[in-house]
Amino acid sequence: MKTKILSALYFIAGIIFMLLDDGQEGLPNIAVKALIIPLLILLFWINSRNMSDRTNGLMFSALLFSWAGDIALELTRQNELMFMLGLGCFLLTQVLYFVVFFLTPGSSASRWKYSLSILPVYLYGAGLLYYLYDDLGIMRIPVMIYAVVILTMLAGAISRIRKVSSASYLLVLCGAVLFVLSDSLIAVNKFSHPLHGASVLIMSTYISGQFMIVMGYLKQTSNKIVWI
């Protein structure tokens, strides 16, 4: 019951933020956005506190850095340097998620099959960077580094195949894909050209992606979970 309530509150907070963020700035936006990830952290903590797993702390840290990144990116409107801070926080989030996915116990697919499965991931990244390259300016190197790291996170999600249940695998994989899509939309909207309905597109993919990653991870480590 607690999981259902927290899940509903999490998405409600996300929807409220998207409604407030329609071209407006101010404290209400920051306050609501600062509430979203803590609800997911609480949901994670309730469902993982009785589990014994070395990666729980890494997941918790990844969510904390996501929370810090959310606030920093929202403050970008007042101080452009906050974008770099937000990028750094989410870079750490992606690194931690990759480590969590990589440490998933079990037998992996063959190296050849795995290489083929992640090839489209890096082709997508190369295509996006090629599209954005001339628009990035002084942010070219930081964005390229971040792109490699987040795509490696997605490659880590793909590596969990055969190690976990199909539900856990698909939830984490879809969540990682949505996270990559959300950050891709941020990059296009910020550096190339403004997107119509950017806030809704970016936040809906982001909050859905984070939720699916957490739920998929919890299904990996517990049989009695949750809402999904």
pLDDT digit string, tens, across residues 141-182? 999 999 999 999 999 999 999 899 999 999 999 999 999 999
Longest dimension (CA), the chain: 51
What are the residue boundaries of the structural domains of the chain, listed by start?
2-221
Residue 141 has a pLDDT of 95
Distance CA 175, CA 179 (A): 6
Residue 224 has pLDDT above 90, yes or no: no
Q: Vertex 128, ends 152 and 90: CA angle to 5°?
A: 45
The four Cα atoms 69, 46, 4, 170 give a dihedral, to 10 degrees, of: 70
- Tokens matching residue 150: 């987040």
Condensed to tens digits (0 to 9), the pLDDT of residues 48-107 reads 876 667 889 999 999 999 999 999 988 876 677 889 999 999 999 999 999 999 998 877
What are the structure tokens assigned to 215, written together? 């739920």
pLDDT for position 146: 97
DSSP classification of residue 77: G
pLDDT for the residue numbered 173: 97
Indicate whether 41 pLDDT > 90.
Answer: yes
pTM of the model: 0.92
Calculate the alpha carbon distances from 19 to 15, 31, 53, 137, 199 in Å. Answer: 6, 13, 38, 32, 9
